Amino acid sequence: MISEKKEAEVRPEIQSRHILKEDKPIGIPTKITVEAINPISFEVTVQCAKTTKHTVTLSEDYYKKMTNEKITAERLIERSFKFLLERENNTSILSSFDLPLIKHYFPEYEKTILRIL
């Protein structure tokens, strides 16, 4: 029997599976719900194989910087979670964070979000 490491060298799709993390349900739709708690705090529920809840804060200045007020804060947060879910599973996302923190983990975040808005 070939070891997983050796098999990953022979079959690149095995390596990809490990990069994507096995507990991320590939092909299963993810539902993201964003609800305002107050003007700067939001509760985000991500329904996947495992449902997770997150509290996200978003200052007015950062909201304006990222959206130029063209979309709602809820929509920005939803798109930000879609960005995160393309890179990690929902159980790996912090349970509470300030939205600008994403760029510290993923430097391409702001540029990507600004491009798709």
For residue 12, being part of any structural domain is answered with: no
Residue 84: CB atoms within 10 A of its CB come to 21
Q: What token pair was written down for 9?
A: 């060298």
Please check the confidence at residue 18 and state whether its pLDDT lies above 50. no
Please check the confidence at residue 17 and state whether its pLDDT lies above 80. no
Please check the confidence at residue 19 and state whether its pLDDT lies above 80. no
For residue 23, being part of any structural domain is answered with: no
Domain containing residue 87? 28-116
For the chain, what is the domain count?
A: 1
The pLDDT of residue 20 is 37
For residue 72, being part of any structural domain is answered with: yes
For residue 109, being part of any structural domain is answered with: yes
User: Taking the model in full, what pTM does it have?
Assistant: 0.76
Question: Stretch 19-44: mean pLDDT, rounded?
Answer: 76
Query: pLDDT digit string (tens) for 59-95?
Result: 999 999 999 999 999 999 999 999 999 999 999 999 9
For residue 19, being part of any structural domain is answered with: no
For residue 14, being part of any structural domain is answered with: no
